[in-house]
Amino acid sequence: MKTYLGIDIGSLTIKFVLIDEKANVLYWTYERTGGRPIEAIQKGMKKLKDWIEKHNPQIEIAGVGTTGSARYLAGVIVGADLIKNEITAHAKGAAFFVPDVRTVIDIGGQDSKIIILENGVAVDFAMNYLCAAGTGSFLDAQAFRLGIPIEKFGELALKSKNPTTIASRCTVFCESDMIHKQQIGHKIEDIVAGLCQGLVRNYLANVAKGKKILPPILFVGGVSENVGMRWAFEKALGQEIIVPKYNKVTGAFGVALLVKENPPQKTKFRGFEISDMDIKCDSFQCKGCPNQCEVIEAKINGKIIARWGDRCGRWSNLKYE
Amino acid sequence: MKITFPYWGNYTVAFELLAKKLNLEVVPPERTTPRTIEKGTKIAPEMYCFPLKVNLGNFLEAIERGADTIVMPTALGGSCRLRYYPFVQEKVLKEDGKEVNFVIFDQSLDIFSKLKKISGANFLKMLGATIFTLKVLNIIEKLEKKAQYLRPREIEKGDTDRILISTFKKLREVEKFSELLKFEKEVLKELNQIRIERKEVPKVGIVGEIYTVTDHAINFEIEKKLGNLGIEVHREMSLLYHLKKKIFFTDFFIQRKVKPYLGSTVGGHGRDAIYEMLKYVKEGFDGVIQLLPAYCMPESSVRPILEKIHQETGIPFLSLSLDEQVAEAGIDTRIEAFVDVVKNYHKNKHRTPNI
């Protein structure tokens, strides 16, 4: 059976999605990278291999696509046929579930984006810049500080009857305001609900500024799991917020779909053996010109497979195996 | 006396040649690198706009290599903070313990007497040097334009840039006007020999602040990136365009064209960005990118207007604000996604012809 693998490796988490020729999701995982992307890829591949052996040994990987901020690294290691930016991948994935979707809100570990679609293709987008307030990492940090498991964070917000206002221009001010509110005796659920509302306010003012948010609106990415954030978005926009199936892995699903649409003649996939190989990345400073680019080289079992990071192509254009 | 000046993309060669023509001893600035920016940022005021910090980095590196006089242009772009640059930079360098002379290059005519004082050249020689420099600028811009056309069409990727890099190296050695003309002919011939596929490709216009759009060291070589992704780039804004504008009072006509969006100047090249974007829309381009340094007052004032034009006409639009905090990876992601949007727009435009 022919299948297509999509890998989305972001700042905090790694997502694997395996789809068949009819775009059914056969397998998906969502795991934290713990700041070690290479190990996370290897672990994820091992898990996928075990699953395939157990469930359906006939599965053959006919194409691999990578996306997310570590897409080049992941693409080199697994041997990807397609390396795509996360905006196109998310637009593709979201439009599959709701073909007439107009707006996609994607909030991940470190960045938040808004994608405007028309007829199933992205026509406009914006990403947060200068500031990562309101993304997954910050919610994570706050949940940890309050001692609430992140999975329960949203439910707690829904219990609030009287959300308090939290300054949300910047995470630093946001946190000090939260502490201030807790010190003067606000209930914890009111603070959590206020935080969700503040983050949505920040998103609408900084990321979605000026863009027309038309329904249907899809909410994807890790933060879309948080019911508190869903509630806050619905309240702020006065619209229904749809959280599609596989909302946490939309990017990986999207890139798998993109590979499926343009299947390679022969996949560049290196095989599941990479999970047991010794993969290392090294960097050095090129002295070729005043630019002094930091060139990164990836090695599998001591053999250089790729170099990147140079501006002129002196290293990246060399032929590697 | 050893003079230096800020690094400014390919134009640096022209200024270096100008100084040599005037028999000045020159320490040409090195290409801006992340380390240059780091050095400049360290001593510059935080809230100042980005180019000031880059310039300071260039100066510091040139001072290390023996420069003692800095030639700095000001107010050539109209009213923006560029006017204060030399004064702020001089103060900042002094506070850092660097004793340097500043020669401020402004629009008043006494620039000739200033130049005479430092170089000892007579009027005729200066005129000759100016004409020579204008021709060099003309060649540089011609080559840049040519490259914008060739990059998305070349069959062997990277051919154009390989030729350009060696060309600009050779241009530094040219001394006489006649050599210059011969050089131009040869380079154009060489570029014309690049094997290309004649095809229609999506076109994107670049608008924005003059320094950020023309200095490839600051804008992460955006033209090259777009070109390699199969996009033909157009850019109206350039040094010669700016000089021509000053001579022919083009601002008057531009103001009439942008009247529905903006009633007066906002300084710098704010009006031009609107004018150019409207022009690109009219000419059926597939996208517009605005480049601006962070804290750039004129460009951030017109950004909402450009966003409005984008919403009215549907032309894809991306605004990139550059400063020392910006990571190249983030810019790459935005550019790649934008190119996908542009290609979709281009495809759909051809499916439904405009009636």
Task: Name the domain count of chain A.
Answer: 3
Residue B233 has pLDDT above 50, yes or no: yes
Residue A84 sits in the same domain as residue A152: no
pLDDT at A140: 85
B329 vs A contacts (CB less than 8 Å)? 69
A135 touches chain B (CB under 8 A): no
Within 8 A of B344 by CB-CB distance, chain A residues are 121-123
CA atoms within 13 A on the CB side of B338: 27
Distance CA(A203)–CA(A112), nearest Å, equals 8
Last residue of a domain, one of A198, A218, A243: A243
Is residue B234 over pLDDT 80? yes
Q: Which residues contact B121 (CB under 8 A, 6 or more apart)?
A: B22, B23, B115, B129
For the residues B16-25, what does the mean pLDDT come to?
89
Residue A254 CA to residue B56 CA, distance in Å, equals 45
Burial of B94-131, coded b for 16+ CB within 10 Å and e otherwise, reads eeeebebebbbbeeeeeeeeebbeebebeeeebeebee
**Same-domain pairing of A34 and A142:** no
pLDDT at A178 over 50: yes
CA distance B235 to chain A (A): 22
B38 touches chain A (CB under 8 A): no
| Residue B267, pLDDT score | 82
Residues B329, A127: C-beta atoms closer than 8 Å: no
What is the H or E stretch that residue A54 is in? helix A37-55
Question: What is the mean pLDDT of the segment spanning B131-151?
Answer: 93
Among B165, B329, B341, whose Cβ lies nearest the Cβ of A124?
B341
Domain B200-355 bears CATH identifier 2.40.10.10: no
Range of lowest pLDDT (B79-88, B107-116, B332-341): B107-116
pLDDT exceeds cutoff 50 at A198:
yes
Write out the residue range of the structural domain in which residue A306 sits.
Answer: 278-321
> Does A111 lie in the same domain as A233?
yes
**Chain A residues within 8 A of B158 when measuring between CB atoms:** 313, 317
Pairwise CA distance, residues B185 & A94, whole Å: 53
Does A125 or B325 have the greater pLDDT score?
Answer: A125
Q: Do A167 and A35 share a domain, yes or no?
A: no
Comparing A54-58, B54-58, B286-290, the range with the smallest average pLDDT is A54-58
B310-330 per-position pLDDT tens digit: 988 989 999 998 887 777 888
Nearest to A6 by CA among A244, A281, A258, A307: A258
B29: DSSP letter: P
State the average pLDDT for chain A: 88
> Does A80 share its domain with A17?
yes
Contact B316 A130 (CB under 8 A): no
Strands (E), chain A: 2-9, 13-20, 25-32, 60-67, 82-83, 103-107, 112-118, 121-127, 217-220, 241-242, 279-285, 294-300, 303-308
Shortest Cα distance, chain A CAs vs residue B316, angstroms: 6
Q: Do A122 and B341 touch (CB under 8 A)?
A: yes
Determine if the pTM surpasses 0.80: yes
pLDDT at B355: 44
Q: Which of A139-143, A234-238, B219-223 has the lowest mean pLDDT?
A: A139-143
pLDDT recorded at residue B107 = 67
Q: Is residue A95 part of a domain?
A: no
Work out the percent of chain B whose per-residue pLDDT is above 70.
96
The domain spans of chain B are: 2-119, 127-150+154-198, 200-355
Give the integer Cα–Cα distance in Å for A272 and A16: 14
Average pLDDT across chain B, whole number:
88
**Fold annotation for B2-119:** Rossmann fold (3.40.50)
Lowest mean pLDDT among A237-251, A294-308, B109-123: B109-123
Q: Is B169 on the interface with A (CB under 8 A)?
A: no
| pLDDT for residue A316 | 79
pLDDT at B339: 94
Q: What pLDDT score was predicted for residue A133?
A: 65
For residue B133, the model assigns a pLDDT of: 92
**Rounded mean pLDDT of A188-215?**
87
Convert the pLDDT of each residue in B235-289 to its tens digit: 999 989 888 887 887 888 888 888 999 988 888 888 899 999 999 999 999 999 9
Question: Is the pLDDT assigned to residue A130 strictly greater than 70?
Answer: no
Q: With 50 as the cut, is the pLDDT of residue B354 above it?
A: no
Is the predicted pLDDT of residue A168 greater than 50, yes or no?
yes
For residue range A271-287, what is the model confidence (pLDDT) as tens digits?
888 888 888 888 888 88
Mean pLDDT of A169-174: 79
The per-residue pLDDT for A110 is 80
Residue A277 and residue A83: Cα distance in Å, rounded? Answer: 22
Same domain (yes/no): A77, A41? yes
pLDDT value at B77 more than 70: no
Q: What is the pLDDT of residue B161?
A: 87
Same domain, A56 and A14: yes
Q: Do A88 and B337 touch (CB under 8 A)?
A: yes
State residue A138's pLDDT score. 85
CB distance from A1 to chain B under 8 Å?
A: no
Token output for B62: 């040139």
% of chain A surpassing 90 pLDDT? 33
Overall average pLDDT of the A218-241 stretch = 92
Instruction: Report pLDDT for B249.
Output: 78
Question: Is B135 a residue whose pLDDT tops 60?
Answer: yes
Same fold, B2-119 and B200-355: yes
CB pairs under 8 A between A and B: 60
- What pLDDT digit, counting tens, does each position of B146-186 carry? 999 999 999 888 888 888 888 888 898 888 899 999 999 99
Between B323 and B291, where is the model more confident?
B291
Report yes or no: A308 and A296 within 8 Å, Cβ to Cβ.
Answer: yes
Pair A203, A217 in one domain: yes
The band of B117, judged by pLDDT with boundaries at 50, 70 and 90, is confident
Closest CB from B31, B325, B337 relative to A290: B31
Q: Is A85 on the interface with B (CB under 8 A)?
A: yes
Q: Are A57 and A111 in the same domain?
A: no
Which segment of A163-172, B113-122, B344-353 scores lowest on mean pLDDT? Answer: B344-353
The answer to ipTM > 0.90 is no
| For residues A196-220, average pLDDT | 88
> Binning pLDDT at 50, 70 and 90, where does residue A64 land?
very high
Please compute, for residue A266, the number of CA atoms within 13 A of its CA located in the half-sphere on the CB side.
1
Residues A142 and A62 reside in one and the same domain: no
Predicted pLDDT at B316? 92
Helix (H, G, I), strand (E, B) or coil at A306: strand
| A261 and A308 housed in the same domain | no
| Residue-level pLDDT at B95 | 92
User: Which residue out of A66, A129, A255 would a mutagenesis test of the B interface target, given it has the greatest number of B Cβ atoms within 10 Å?
Assistant: A129
Categorize the per-residue pLDDT at A304 as very low, low, confident or very high, splitting at 50, 70 and 90: confident
For residues A30-44, average pLDDT: 89
Same domain, A311 and A285: yes
